[in-house]
Amino acid sequence: MSKKKTLTLREFIEHLGAGKLAMQLNVSRQAVAQWANFKAAPKPATAAEIIELSYGLVTWESIYQPYVNMMGEA
């Protein structure tokens, strides 16, 4: 059984474009840039929209795991 390919949030932002994602989610481009640079995480409701927009290629884990990893390094 092969594992389904997933994208990190940063990869999805780079693929779709920050401006386009911001428009689709009705958030600022600055918010999307903060997510891409791990300065802030999207709210859970927004994360759910991102997962839906990506057709499941972005997962809860691929959105939030980098922040968990960073907290462990602090």
Residue pLDDT, tens place only, 7-44: 999 999 999 999 999 999 999 999 999 999 999 999 99
Q: Are 9 and 35 in contact (CB under 8 A)?
A: yes
Say what the pLDDT of residue 3 is: 61
Say what the pLDDT of residue 72 is: 78
On whether the pTM is more than 0.85, the answer is yes
One-character DSSP codes across 7-53: B-HHHHHHHH-HHHHHHHHT--HHHHHHHHTTSS---HHHHHHHHHH
Residue 57 has pLDDT above 80, yes or no: yes
Buried b / exposed e over 12-37, threshold 16 CB at 10 Å, is bbeebebeebbeebebeeebbeebbe
Q: Looking up tokens 């689709």, which residue turns up?
A: 24
pLDDT average, residue stretch 48-59: 97
pLDDT average, residue stretch 47-51: 98
